Structures are given as structure tokens and as C-alpha cells.
Amino acid sequence: DSGVTQTPKHLITATGQRVTLRCSPRSGDLSVYWYQQSLDQGLQFLIQYYNGEERAKGNILERFSAQQFPDLHSELNLSSLELGDSALYFCASSVGSGMTEAFFGQGTRLTVV
């Protein structure tokens, strides 16, 4: 158990819908990262927050947004969902903002039908 909690574990939704994925980082970790992993693909970096502020942005679609709350948990919002958005979404957390070990949650598997 990495200490990072992601909910829900599985999500099935229709095209055009909007979903919210939630992540609770390890106790004491200030950074939260979101990654997308499609079938047999690598980890695509979406966005990073550090202590409530956006720190780095990857290839995150405009339909996607995220935020980190004062209690440091984070949410990833995916809207106008398309079939191609089906993937495993990982959240990771670390103590620092970059050059430190990151701990990954078990992921949320999103299936868009």
C-alpha cells in the first residue's frame, strides 16, 4: 500500500458525460501528479500541483481540469468524454516538488462507452 488513495477504482460512463476522479496523497506529501495510461502505453503526464498551486502541465486536454484543495487532496475533472479517453488514470504524490520519489495510487480505470 503506497498510502495514496484514489476513488473510484472503476468508472463506466457514456460519451459526452463528465466525471471527477479523486486522489488523497500520502500524509505529508505536498505534490500531486496526474497521469494517464492507455492500454499498453506509457504514462502520460497530465498535470502537477504543489501545495495547492499548479506546478507543471503536460499534454492535458482542455476538456480536462484539475485542482488541489487546502487539505491537499486533488480532483481531476474530465468532461465531454470521448471513447479515446478510456484509460487508467493514476495519481501520484511526493514530499517535494520534483526530484523526489513519487508514490502511485492504484489508479482509476475509466471506460467510456
Partner 1 sequence: QQPVQSPQAVILREGEDAVINCSSSKALYSVHWYRQKHGEAPVFLMILLKGGEQKGHEKISASFNEKKQQSSLYLTASQLSYSGTYFCGTSNFGNEKLTFGTGTRLTIIP
Neighbours of 35 (CB within 10 A): 21
User: How far is Cα 28 from Cα 79, in angstroms, rounded to an integer?
Assistant: 30
Site string for partner 1, 7-46 (x = CB under 8 A): --------------------------x-x-----xxxxx-
- Least gap, CB of 97 to partner 1 (angstroms): 6
Residue 100 sits in the site that holds partner 1 (CB under 8 A)? yes
User: How far is Cα 12 from Cα 68, in angstroms, rounded to an integer?
Assistant: 24
Residues of span 58-97 touching partner 1 by CB under 8 A: 58, 90, 92, 97
- Least gap, CB of 17 to partner 1 (angstroms): 26
Residue 4 burial (10 A CB sphere; 0-12, 13-18, 19+) = buried
- Least gap, CB of 87 to partner 1 (angstroms): 14
| C-beta of 15 vs 51, nearer to partner 1 | 51
Contact assessment for residue 50 and residue 40, using Cβ atoms and an 8 Å cutoff? no
Cα torsion 23, 25, 31, 36: sign: negative
- Least gap, CB of 43 to partner 1 (angstroms): 4
